[in-house]
Amino acid sequence: QSALAQPASVSGSPGQSITISCTGTSSDVGGYNYVSWYQQHPGKAPKLIIYDVTYRPSGVSDRFSGSKSGNTASLTISGLQAEDEADYYCSSYTSSRTHVFGGGTILTVL
C-alpha cells in the first residue's frame, strides 16, 4: 500500500486560507468517503480534525474544512492563525480493509 501523496510543505500569512491536497487511488481515497485529517504539533500526539471527508469532531474550529473530488481529498484552513502551524496528515480507509496515511505536510504561518 503506497502512501497517499501530500505536498511536503505549504505556507500562508495570518488571516489567509491555505489548502492541502491528498492524492490516492480508486482503492482508497477515491473509493470511499473515509478520509480523515490529523494535526500534529511538535512532540505531541496527532489530533483528529476532519473525518469522513467533511465532518469535524466536536471542539474543532470551523476554520477547518474538508472536501474530495475523485482520488484527491483536500483540507482547507481559513483565517490562518499562528497556532495552526503544525504537521498535517491525511488518512484513508482502503479496499484491503487497512488504512494508509499521507506523507505529511508542514504548514508554516508566515
Rule CB under 8 A: choose which of 75, 104, 107, 109 binds other proteins.
104
Residue 101 · residue 90 · CB < 8 Å:
yes
Q: Does 51 bind other proteins (CB under 8 A)?
A: yes
Q: Which stretch binds other proteins (CB under 8 A): 19-27, 46-54, 61-69, 75-83?
A: 46-54
Burial class (CB in 10 A: 0-12, 13-18, 19+), 44: exposed
Least distance to other proteins from the beta carbon of 17, Å? 24
Q: Does 9 bind other proteins (CB under 8 A)?
A: no
3-state secondary structure of 82: helix
